[in-house]
């Protein structure tokens, strides 16, 4: 999987999510159709009834999720219309509905450039969880420095 960079969102994503068993051709086509149908309204600014039929109760925005050509992992469409905050809701939706008979391994790593934090998105059964990986070290240092300042000034 490549690592899409969304400069406007200030988030770098890398990693991979493997699927077992491999997706069927139909499941791969359905993921592709949902991604295409949900992208079009974002581009044209027109509603799509098709995406509601393909994915009832789906999250807002375009689905970034498609399959790799072999059907063994989830891949992310890095179209510029994909919003960073649509990644997790769509993944939750898909693993809880269309992909409920599959299990996943691996993780997606999110590096938030502004917050300087790492988190990992993993799939546990049919639930998506986000776990902090690294805490911002300079914040801890900053708090310690501020805490020390009154003592230094005494
Ligand atoms: Zn694959």
pLDDT, block means (10 residues), the chain with 154 residues:
52 91 97 94 87 94 94 89 89 96 94 88 92 67 51 48
Task: Write down the pLDDT at residue 1.
Answer: 42
Task: Write down the pLDDT at residue 19.
Answer: 97
Ligand 1 centroid vs 125 CA: distance in angstroms? 19
Task: Write down the pLDDT at residue 137.
Answer: 60
Q: Say how many C-beta atoms besides its own lie within 10 A of residue 76's C-beta.
A: 23
Spatial neighbors of 22 by CB under 8 A, at least 6 apart, are 70, 71, 72
Residues recorded for the chain: 154
- Residues near ion ligand 1 (Cβ under 5 Å): 68, 70, 72-73
Task: Write down the pLDDT at residue 138.
Answer: 56
Task: Write down the pLDDT at residue 2.
Answer: 43
Task: Write down the pLDDT at residue 135.
Answer: 63
Ligand 1 centroid vs 102 CA: distance in angstroms? 14
Spatial neighbors of 1 by CB under 8 A, at least 6 apart, are 14, 15, 16, 17, 68, 73, 75, 76
Nearest to 121 by CA among 99, 100, 106, 136: 106
What gap in Å lies between CA 29 and CA 73, rounded to an integer?
14
Ligand 1 centroid vs 150 CA: distance in angstroms? 56
Ligand 1 centroid vs 71 CA: distance in angstroms? 5
Nearest to 66 by CA among 35, 94, 44, 95: 35
Ligand 1 centroid vs 74 CA: distance in angstroms? 7
Ligand 1 centroid vs 26 CA: distance in angstroms? 16
Give residue for tokens 């200030």: 10
Q: Where are the beta strands (DSSP E) in the chain?
A: 5-6, 11-20, 65-67, 73-76, 103-112, 117-124, 127-134
Task: Write down the pLDDT at residue 146.
Answer: 52
Task: Write down the pLDDT at residue 11.
Answer: 85
Task: Write down the pLDDT at residue 94.
Answer: 97
């Amino acid at each position: 999987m490549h690592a899409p960079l969304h400069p406007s969102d200030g988030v770098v994503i890398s990693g991979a999510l493997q699927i077992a068993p491999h997706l069927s051709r139909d499941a791969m086509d359905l993921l592709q159709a949902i991604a295409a149908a949900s992208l079009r309204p974002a581009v044209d600014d027109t509603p799509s009834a098709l995406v509601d039929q393909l994915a009832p109760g789906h999250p807002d925005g375009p689905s970034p999720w498609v399959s790799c050509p072999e059907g063994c992992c989830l891949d992310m469409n890095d179209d510029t219309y994909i919003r960073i905050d649509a990644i997790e809701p769509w993944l939750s939706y898909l693993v809880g509905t269309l992909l409920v008979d599959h299990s996943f391994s691996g993780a997606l790593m999110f590096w938030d450039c502004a917050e300087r934090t790492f988190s990992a998105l993993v799939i546990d059964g049919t639930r998506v969880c986000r776990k902090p990986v690294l805490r911002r070290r300079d914040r801890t240092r900053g708090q310690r420095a501020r805490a020390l300042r009154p003592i230094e000034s005494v």
